[in-house]
Amino acid sequence: MGNLHFHIGKEYTITKTFGECDVYQFAGIIGDLFPAHVNEEYCKKMPYGTRLVHGCLTFSLCSTVSGMAGVDSGHDIVAMGYDKVRFLKPVKLGDTITARYWITEVNEEKKKTTGECVMTNQRDEVVLTCQHYMKVIERIAE
Protein backbone atom coordinates (compact mmCIF):
# COMPACT_ATOMS: atom_id res chain seq x y z
CA MET A 1 0.00 0.00 0.00
CA GLY A 2 1.42 3.39 -0.96
CA ASN A 3 0.98 6.78 0.65
CA LEU A 4 -2.22 7.52 2.45
CA HIS A 5 -4.49 10.00 0.70
CA PHE A 6 -6.04 11.89 3.58
CA HIS A 7 -6.32 15.67 3.46
CA ILE A 8 -5.22 17.16 6.78
CA GLY A 9 -7.51 20.04 7.68
CA LYS A 10 -10.14 19.42 4.99
CA GLU A 11 -13.55 19.74 6.62
CA TYR A 12 -16.46 17.34 6.21
CA THR A 13 -19.90 18.38 7.45
CA ILE A 14 -23.44 17.19 7.86
CA THR A 15 -26.39 19.14 9.24
CA LYS A 16 -29.47 17.46 10.68
CA THR A 17 -32.54 18.60 12.58
CA PHE A 18 -33.41 16.02 15.23
CA GLY A 19 -37.13 15.35 15.40
CA GLU A 20 -39.42 13.27 17.51
CA CYS A 21 -39.31 10.31 15.12
CA ASP A 22 -35.49 10.22 15.35
CA VAL A 23 -35.59 10.05 19.14
CA TYR A 24 -38.35 7.42 19.32
CA GLN A 25 -36.78 5.19 16.67
CA PHE A 26 -33.40 5.40 18.39
CA ALA A 27 -34.97 4.76 21.80
CA GLY A 28 -36.70 1.68 20.42
CA ILE A 29 -33.57 0.34 18.73
CA ILE A 30 -31.36 0.63 21.80
CA GLY A 31 -34.04 0.23 24.47
CA ASP A 32 -33.32 3.57 26.15
CA LEU A 33 -36.72 4.89 27.17
CA PHE A 34 -35.35 7.14 29.90
CA PRO A 35 -37.97 9.82 30.66
CA ALA A 36 -35.62 12.68 29.69
CA HIS A 37 -35.98 11.48 26.08
CA VAL A 38 -39.59 10.31 25.83
CA ASN A 39 -41.72 11.92 28.58
CA GLU A 40 -42.52 15.59 28.03
CA GLU A 41 -44.42 15.95 31.32
CA TYR A 42 -41.48 14.53 33.28
CA CYS A 43 -39.15 16.92 31.47
CA LYS A 44 -41.23 20.00 32.28
CA LYS A 45 -40.05 19.57 35.89
CA MET A 46 -36.39 19.19 34.86
CA PRO A 47 -33.88 22.03 34.35
CA TYR A 48 -34.12 21.95 30.53
CA GLY A 49 -37.92 21.96 30.49
CA THR A 50 -38.31 19.66 27.49
CA ARG A 51 -37.19 16.33 26.07
CA LEU A 52 -33.57 15.85 25.06
CA VAL A 53 -32.05 13.96 22.15
CA HIS A 54 -30.00 10.97 23.32
CA GLY A 55 -26.33 11.92 23.60
CA CYS A 56 -25.34 8.82 21.66
CA LEU A 57 -27.74 9.73 18.84
CA THR A 58 -26.17 13.17 18.55
CA PHE A 59 -22.71 11.60 18.81
CA SER A 60 -23.52 9.22 15.93
CA LEU A 61 -23.15 12.10 13.47
CA CYS A 62 -19.39 11.84 14.06
CA SER A 63 -19.48 8.42 12.41
CA THR A 64 -21.15 9.98 9.37
CA VAL A 65 -18.64 12.78 8.88
CA SER A 66 -15.58 10.66 9.65
CA GLY A 67 -16.86 8.15 7.11
CA MET A 68 -16.98 10.96 4.55
CA ALA A 69 -13.27 11.56 5.14
CA GLY A 70 -12.59 7.85 4.71
CA VAL A 71 -14.52 7.65 1.45
CA ASP A 72 -12.83 10.81 0.18
CA SER A 73 -9.41 9.25 0.81
CA GLY A 74 -10.17 6.34 -1.49
CA HIS A 75 -9.00 3.87 1.16
CA ASP A 76 -10.93 1.17 2.95
CA ILE A 77 -11.07 2.24 6.59
CA VAL A 78 -12.40 1.13 9.95
CA ALA A 79 -13.05 3.23 13.01
CA MET A 80 -10.55 2.56 15.79
CA GLY A 81 -12.34 4.51 18.50
CA TYR A 82 -13.09 7.85 20.06
CA ASP A 83 -11.45 9.82 22.86
CA LYS A 84 -12.36 12.92 24.84
CA VAL A 85 -16.06 12.71 23.99
CA ARG A 86 -17.69 15.71 25.68
CA PHE A 87 -21.40 16.52 25.77
CA LEU A 88 -21.19 20.26 26.39
CA LYS A 89 -24.80 21.38 25.94
CA PRO A 90 -28.10 19.55 25.70
CA VAL A 91 -29.66 18.88 22.32
CA LYS A 92 -33.42 19.36 22.34
CA LEU A 93 -35.97 17.97 19.92
CA GLY A 94 -36.09 20.36 16.97
CA ASP A 95 -32.45 21.46 17.31
CA THR A 96 -30.42 21.55 14.12
CA ILE A 97 -26.95 20.14 14.63
CA THR A 98 -23.97 20.60 12.33
CA ALA A 99 -21.17 18.08 12.73
CA ARG A 100 -17.78 19.20 11.40
CA TYR A 101 -14.88 16.76 11.08
CA TRP A 102 -11.30 17.10 9.93
CA ILE A 103 -8.16 14.97 9.97
CA THR A 104 -5.46 16.40 12.25
CA GLU A 105 -2.77 13.74 11.91
CA VAL A 106 -1.80 10.91 9.54
CA ASN A 107 0.57 8.16 10.65
CA GLU A 108 1.78 6.60 7.41
CA GLU A 109 3.74 3.84 9.15
CA LYS A 110 0.81 2.61 11.24
CA LYS A 111 -1.77 3.49 8.55
CA LYS A 112 -3.83 5.41 11.11
CA THR A 113 -5.40 8.84 11.30
CA THR A 114 -6.51 11.13 14.09
CA GLY A 115 -9.41 13.49 13.57
CA GLU A 116 -11.46 16.06 15.47
CA CYS A 117 -15.22 16.39 15.48
CA VAL A 118 -17.10 19.46 16.71
CA MET A 119 -20.87 19.76 16.69
CA THR A 120 -22.79 23.01 16.97
CA ASN A 121 -26.49 23.82 17.20
CA GLN A 122 -28.47 26.40 15.24
CA ARG A 123 -27.30 29.10 17.68
CA ASP A 124 -23.65 28.21 16.91
CA GLU A 125 -23.17 26.81 20.43
CA VAL A 126 -20.80 23.86 20.69
CA VAL A 127 -22.80 20.87 21.92
CA LEU A 128 -20.31 18.00 21.47
CA THR A 129 -16.61 17.47 20.77
CA CYS A 130 -14.44 14.38 20.38
CA GLN A 131 -11.32 12.91 18.86
CA HIS A 132 -11.62 10.04 16.38
CA TYR A 133 -9.19 7.41 15.10
CA MET A 134 -9.30 5.48 11.82
CA LYS A 135 -7.18 2.73 10.38
CA VAL A 136 -6.67 1.94 6.71
CA ILE A 137 -7.21 -1.72 5.98
CA GLU A 138 -6.23 -3.76 2.97
CA ARG A 139 -8.81 -5.68 0.99
CA ILE A 140 -8.62 -9.41 1.01
CA ALA A 141 -7.72 -10.71 -2.42
CA GLU A 142 -10.63 -12.49 -4.07
Length of the chain: 142
pLDDT 10s per residue in the chain (142 long)? 458 999 999 999 999 999 999 999 999 999 999 999 999 999 999 999 999 999 999 999 999 999 999 999 999 999 999 999 999 999 999 999 999 999 999 999 999 999 999 999 999 999 999 999 999 998 877 6
How many structural domains are present in the chain?
A: 1
Q: Answer whether residue 93 is part of any domain.
A: yes
68, 26 Cβ separation under 8 angstroms: no
| Strands of 126-137's sheet in order across | 11-17, 96-107, 112-120, 126-137, 76-87
Q: Answer whether residue 117 is part of any domain.
A: yes
3-state secondary structure of 44: helix
Per DSSP, helices labelled H in 1-142 are 20-30, 35-38, 40-44, 55-59, 61-73
Judged on CB neighbours under 10 Å (0-12, 13-18, 19+), 141 is exposed
Residues forming a β-bridge with 129? 86, 118
Q: Answer whether residue 18 is part of any domain.
A: yes
Q: Answer whether residue 1 is part of any domain.
A: no
Q: For residue 130, what is the domain's CATH number? A: 3.10.129.10
Q: Answer whether residue 105 is part of any domain.
A: yes
Q: Answer whether residue 108 is part of any domain.
A: yes
Model-level pTM?
A: 0.93
